Structure 1
Amino acid sequence: MPRHLVIGNGHIAIGFDDTAQIRDIYYPYVGELNHVGGHRCAIGVWVDGKFSWWRDPEWQFDLGYHEKSLVTNIRATHPGMELSITSEDAVHQRLNVYLKRMTITNLAPEGREVRVFFNNDLMISETEVGDTAVYDPERHVIYHYKRGTYFLFNGATEGTRLFQYSTGVKRFNHSEGTWRDAEDGELMENPIAQGSVDSVISFRLFLKPGETQLLNYWMAIGSTLDEVTDLDEYVKDSGVNMLLDRVIVYWQRWAEKSGTWFADLPSRVRDLFYMSLLMVRVHTDANGAIVAALDSDILQYNRDHYNYVWPRDGALAAITMSEAGYHGMVRPFFRFCADALTDEGYLRHKYNPDGTVGSSWHPYVVQKERRLPIQEDETGLTLIALWRDFVHHQEIDFPQSVYDTLIRPAAAFLARYIDNALELPKPSYDLWEERYGIFTFTSSAVYGGLIAAANFFRLYGNDYLSERYHKTAQMVKRGILSRLYDQERGIFVRGLVRENGRWVFDKTIDSSVFGLWAFDVLPADDERIVRTMEAVESTLTVKTEVGGIGRYEGDSYFRSGDDDAPINPWFISTLWVADWKIAKARTIGDLRAPRETLIWVANHALPSGLLPEQLHPVTGEPLSVSPLTWSHAALASTVLHYIDRYRSLVNASF
């Protein structure tokens, strides 16, 4: 199940399912640790002696956000109970506090008592062993803790505080959880539980016919009990209403910083652009980690997740955010990469949000042959992103601060890790992390990284190194044009793979060849690029009502079991083709096709505005994780490129 809503502040990230209930809480890093682990922090309602959880099918939901904001705007209705509830959820932009404002309306012709229940189902530090849930009678709150992590839960209705509480054991022996205690509308008020535990707190409202009342609920997170109790006092003193309204304004001001004019793009594309900026922001940790995704449901298919920093995804997202005007947001990412860089000068496969090395499936040895288990494109892309950030913002001091820790060692590695006979980078894993060889995308990223390094050396007065790396880049370009171009078909190949001791073409049509023009090996209108990208579009376009463009021929990742189903459309590959058309556009009319692509993306987003990794080619249902940071970064990038091209073509006509 994809995450339909995600909120956060750079220290906390919270994901919600399609019933607006919490499934993930990440702290103290965005993406690490998950203190819910995909279980459900359930919400329930009791009225007229009847109880219903929000997961019950009778509830109807309209999920979304306040405009240009990381504050949710949810409507839940239950016709049988004659209740309508709106919910606004946010993480305070500065403090580690989750805030919820519920507006509850009685649609019945008579007055009624309504009780709302919140089940706090945590597994602190990603394990259910050794948690404690306790009621504090002095503060009239529930808190959970284990070692140095505390969660405090509180709330209030108009004029009253929480009504009842209870704690208990869950998912152990025959104990299902304290949530069962709520289903009769009463809580037993057990004051403490230890081990695998949960808790429930409830609130009571008396509503006249047609009356609406507010219910506020909040959660403070910290490393000590004093810290969370201080946050609790702050929320009570300030009031949830005022705090939430300020959070809305903050994110709107943040999103509007891009100051974008949207040419002829429709409002739904504009809205998705802002949502995409916000989604990249919410997946970015304060220490610089840009996490690929926060959807823990992927654990059901592979006992791992996407809660990692791939320097590939992060660099491409950093390029987008820098283009959009968020230089200050991406600077920590480059420091993160500088700290992560090995002594040899390369970046590893992926990293945890705290900067430690992440899990990997790339071996050091295959059939007794040693390999360097990296995706070399990630090192090149980081230098490309850093140079483009400088070009956009002209802040000369920041690149200087990572000159010795990132620019020089990474450039030296790229220049050293070359097969001189081929004039191409030595083998590494491709950007899809699936195959080993010498790939067009990787070679293009290495070329772009070396050019970026040469530019930095020139900027800082080191003409010797600038000329040296520029010459190395030109050598790689020669290798690309001579070794990765299929003269017979007139297109660039995906790469070279080793067969029987020889390098041979991997002729698979792959959307990643977009890197040739995206990283300035050749212009977008070069006839070789045109033929290559036309082959990508014609071969990989999904010929169903869903449409879109797949990654590469024969892609089996999350492919449907139906043999007749084509490859799955991915948002990034679809947008790459649109980007190419934008780059080579010569008239406003040439922008019609990429404009339609942007509308297609907007039409296939989740109702809340979030973009998954890929779609089912027949049903259009989201597949793999959602939201995917890379999808949102690609959408925002294409919108920016479209606007720039539209403006330049209009100006050229005068």
Structure 2
Amino acid sequence: MNDERLQEHLRKKPYLVDAIAGNSAMLVSLGSTGRLYRLWWPHIDYPQHVDEIRAGLKIGKTPGGVTWFDDPAAGWTHAASYVPRTNAYRVVSSHPELPVEAEQTDFAVPGQPLMARGYRLTNKGRETLHLEFYHYGSFRIMDNEWYMTTEFRGDHDALLHFRHRYAFAIGSPETCSGYQAGQGSWRQASDGYLNGNRIDMKPDGAMKWTLAEIEPGQSVVVPVYIAAGHSRGEALEALETAKAKSYDDWFAEMVAYWSNYLSEAAPCPGGDERIVDLYERSLLAMKLMADEATGTIVAAPEFDETFSRCGGYAYSWGRDAAFVTTAFNKAGLGALTEKFYDWAVTAQEPDGSWQQRHYNDGSLAPHWGLQIDEGSSLLWGMWEYYLHSGERQDFLERMWPSVEKGASYLAGFIDPETGLPLPSMDLWEERLAEHTYSAAAVHGGLSAAASFARRKGRNELADAWESIARSISASIEAHCWNEDKGSYYRGLKLNVNPWDYEAAIANGARGTVKPRDKGYQSYILDHDPIVDISLLGLSVPFGAVPVDNPRMARTADAIEALLTSPKVGGIKRYENDAYIGGNPWILTTLWLSHYRTLQGRYDEARRLLDYAVRHTTPSGLLPEQVDRETGETAWVVPLTWSHAMFLLAVHMLAERGELRTN
């Protein structure tokens, strides 16, 4: 994508969003101005269907046509926040020169293919108002900008957008007073004129509703529904379902749904009001990241679909999900965990491995190659849930075939020279080596599999897998300690490019050049000395090295000394990290909090927890990164792993009686 097209794309779909709303089958991302950026259905990862959706007003005889609430040049100001204890997002828009306040509330209806957008328009002036409310929608069905049709269906008083097996009907229980399908809808809607064109092979269209005689202080509500279906008939039927019940009833049903969800979860085990609020917001956000139909847990709502700055986030990583499911366990939401692992076995390869990341249907997503920690983390997470469930036999029986294949694969993936797992990609997906973190994850996965095997009476398998796990721990101690840094090496047998290899050798590093297929060569450094937050994984959560091991304690201290961001605090991923500028991350900061808690250094753990609380977005979500210069949100909103690490940090402190109110 060239720069001009990218900038136009980012105007409609920025990297950073302000909120998400949904019902785990339909998901939208939103801005604090009320603009709807993206909509996914019937799964939360793919496909995405929206180009842009906007709303605005024409006020009486005010010159200039329609004023769009989200237009940065139009003069509207916005106050945005979630409706407490729900996944509904509310934006209140006001204007210093216009006598109208617009309160917009976006939520998905639980169990229905419906997005509700409620607009409460209030006359703040001293004179009676005549308003025309405009709703514009441009679609990109199946992430495709071509071959859409937009049609006004008078029998349903709705605009219908459709392509292939997806259709979206937009309408309201209030009868519209004008419409336009295609034919330059945006330009003409902005001028305050819709020409009544009924059908066009274009992606966009607009509708308007005339609201006459609004007295000073009076409010009117215009609900607009976006109804989805796999056919035009399904979408229109869903829209009629929406119209058959009042907007207030749908809103009350949504509030009750999220209230019930939170009441079924374990309450926040302590802490001050901000911790409690973030705890609940984490539970709400994480639920939206767990697909209703499949149980898949995705890393984040997609925000970089063009892969312009990263490789995308709306996929399921086994590693992220293992942390998330453990957080669900702690929060008493084990049903979400179980559903995920029932899905995970469908994503396993025939050889027993799990690849890097997957779509919700279990198929392999775009990736950079095997990460051995992914499948290892899944085995570890399965065992954690088995214990949480009270060692339910039915879960054991469903998981066992997958566990046996997965552990057998891990057992055969050991380098006889080092005793560590063979080279694979690291957890950050940037380098090929025998990574120390990956070794710890394999230790955790094999230990979990051995425990499953004992429950199955397969003691010989259990003995063999336990022996390999112990050998990995011993190999970490024998080969992975770097006294110069006072830290474990990040890895062994690091593959680099030829020029980096020559530079490293010139600076005293050791390595080898090995031939490989087709006459190519691999340039391999003996050690990767970079200090990386993932080295904490040796102890927490995988237990390959005891928490109180002096080397482990020195590694944690080296991490804090070398990776603390100097201006804004927080912990970076590793030395010289350049991704999105090398910012501190929320999950890395919380990872150190986990380790300090296990060390008994509770005040330090709490300070790290409070860092996360202080660096939520304005809507209360946790991002991936914090800008190293300003402390503002820098990348990915929300990141499911960040929210999971927060829940785990809260519970770890609470279980030790150390989640005190400040």
TM-score, shorter chain, exceeding 0.5: yes
Per the alignment, in what secondary structure is the counterpart of residue 201 of structure 1?
strand
Partner residue of 1:17 out of 11, 31, 35: 31
SS of the residue 2:492 aligns to: strand
Alignment of 1:328-347 (within 5 A): 328-347=335-354
CA contact (8 A) 2:386 2:396 kept: no
Q: 144, 147, 152: which one pairs with 2:161?
A: 144
- Equivalent position to 1:408, from 390, 404, 410: 404
Summarize the Cα distance change of 1:466–1:648 in structure 2 as closer, same or farther, 3 Å threshold.
farther
Are residues 1:64 and 2:64 paired?
Answer: no
1:395 to 1:163, Cα distance in 2 relative to 1, 3 A: farther
- Structure 1, unaligned stretches of length 5 or more? 170-176, 363-372, 560-566
Determine the structure 1 residue equivalent to 2:355.
348
Q: Match for 2:615 among 604, 611, 622?
A: 604
Structure 1 residue 557, shift from structure 2 partner:
0.5
Equivalents in 2 of 1:99, 1:166: separation in Å? 21
Q: Deviations over 1:77-120 (max 9, x none)?
A: 12221221222211112111111222211111111012221111
Match of 1:424 in 2: 420
Corresponding position of 2:560: 537
Encode CA deviations 1:233-287: one digit per residue, 9 max, x unaligned. Answer: 2222222210111111211221232232432x22112111111122121112121
Taking the aligned partners of 2:117 and 2:597, their CA distance within structure 1 comes to 42
Q: Distance in 1 between matches of 2:305 and 2:639?
A: 12
- Superposed, 1:86-125 pairs within 5 Å as 86-125=103-142
1:454-473 maps to which residues of 2 (within 5 A)?
454-473=450-469
2:638 to 593, 609, 627: 627
Aligned residue runs from structure 1 range 377-416, under 5 A: 377-416=373-412
1:56, distance to aligned residue in structure 2 (A): 2.2
Query: Given that residues 457 and 465 in structure 1 are in contact (C-alpha distance below 8 angstroms), is that contact kept between their aligned partners in structure 2?
Result: yes
Query: Structure 2 residue aligned with 1:80, among 87, 97, 100?
Result: 97
Contact 1:3 1:295 in 2 (8 A): no
Q: Is 1:55 aligned to residue 77 of structure 2?
A: no
Deviates more, 1:279-288 or 1:530-539: 279-288
Aligned partner of 2:282 in structure 1 is 276
Distance 1:285 1:219 in 2: 20
What amino acid sits opposite 2:456 in the alignment?
A: Y
Q: Structure 2: which 5+ residue stretches go unaligned?
A: 1-13, 495-510, 514-523
> 1:300 deviation in Å?
6.7
Q: Which amino acid aligns with 1:11?
A: A
Q: Take 1:401 and 1:223, find their aligned partners in 2: how far apart are those partners?
A: 36
1:5 to 19, 27, 31: 19
User: Structure 2 matches for 1:312-331, cutoff 5 A?
Assistant: 312-331=319-338
Aligned length: 613
Identity %: 27
d(CA) in 2 for partners of 1:119, 1:643: 49
| SS of equivalent residue, structure 1 residue 477 | helix
Counterpart position of 2:506: none
Q: Shift of the alpha carbon at 1:600? A: 2.0
> Which amino acid is 2:35 matched to?
Q
Equivalent residues of 2:486, 2:558 under 8 A apart: no
* Contact kept? 1:168, 1:190, Cα under 8 Å: yes
Change (3 A) 1:300 1:486: closer
1:579 partner amino acid: H
Equivalent position amino acid for 1:161 in 2 = T
The structural deviation recorded for 1:539 is: 0.7
1:354-393 matched pairs, under 5 angstroms = 354-360=361-367, 362=368, 373-393=369-389
Identify the residue that residue 478 of structure 1 maps to in structure 2: 474
Instruction: Tell me, yes or no, if the aligned pair for 1:49 and 1:185 is still in contact at 8 Å.
Output: no
Distance across 2 between alignment mates of 1:239 and 1:523: 58
One-letter amino acid of the structure 2 residue matched with residue 485 of structure 1: W
Match of 2:534 among 512, 523, 534: 512
Q: Deviations over 1:193-228 (max 9, x none)?
A: 11x320111122231111112111111101123322
Greater shift, 309-318 or 591-600, is seen at 591-600
Aligned AA for 1:294?
P
Q: TM-score, normalised by structure 2?
A: 0.89
Q: Deviations over 1:102-156 (max 9, x none)?
A: 2211111111012221111101111122111111111211111112111011114
Shift of 1:12: 1.3
CA distance in 1, matches of 2:307, 2:79: 26
Post-superposition shift, 1:599? 2.4
Paired with 1:500 and 1:259, the residues of 2 have a C-alpha distance of 53
Match of 1:367 in 2: none
Distance in 2 (CA, whole Å) between partners of 1:329 and 1:162 is 41
Secondary structure, aligned partner of 1:317: helix
How many Å separate the matches in 2 of 1:642 and 1:351?
33
Correspondence list, 1:15-54, <5 A: 15-36=29-50, 39-50=51-62, 51-54=66-69
Contact 2:626 2:634 in 1 (8 A): yes
**Secondary structure of the residue that 1:32 maps to in structure 2?**
coil
* CA deviation after TM superposition for structure 1 residue 526, in Å: 2.5
- Which of 204, 208, 217 does residue 210 from structure 2 map onto? 204
User: Equivalences for 1:239-258 in 2 at 5 Å?
Assistant: 239-258=246-265
Q: Contact conserved, 2:400 with 2:452, CA < 8 A, in 1?
A: no
Match of 1:43, as an amino acid? A
Q: How does 1:142-291 map to 2 (within 5 A)?
A: 142-156=159-173, 160-169=174-183, 177-194=184-201, 196-206=202-212, 207-263=214-270, 265-286=271-292, 287-291=294-298
When residues 220 and 356 of structure 1 are mapped into structure 2, their CA distance, relative to the original with a 3 A threshold, is same
The answer (yes or no) to whether the contact 2:150–2:204 under 8 Å persists in 1 is yes
CA distance, structure 2, for counterparts of residue 106 and residue 155 of structure 1: 21
Deviations 1:547-604 (A, max 9, x none): 2110000001111xxxxxxx3111111111111111121xxxx423322322221221
Which stretch has the larger CA shift, 315-324 or 509-518? 315-324
Q: Which amino acid aligns with 1:8?
A: G
Cα 1:296–1:554, aligned 2, differ >3 Å: closer, same or farther?
same
Work out the CA distance in 2 between the residues paired with 1:98 and 1:397. Answer: 40
Answer yes or no: is the 8 Å Cα contact 2:138–2:203 preserved in 1: yes
Secondary structure, counterpart of 1:330 in structure 2: helix
CA separation of 1:44 and 1:297: change in aligned 2, threshold 3 A:
farther
1:424 partner SS: coil
In the superposition, relative to structure 1, how do residues 577 and 126 fare at CA in structure 2: closer, same or farther (>3 Å)?
same
Q: Secondary structure at the match of 1:253?
A: helix
**Matched letter for residue 143 of structure 1:** L
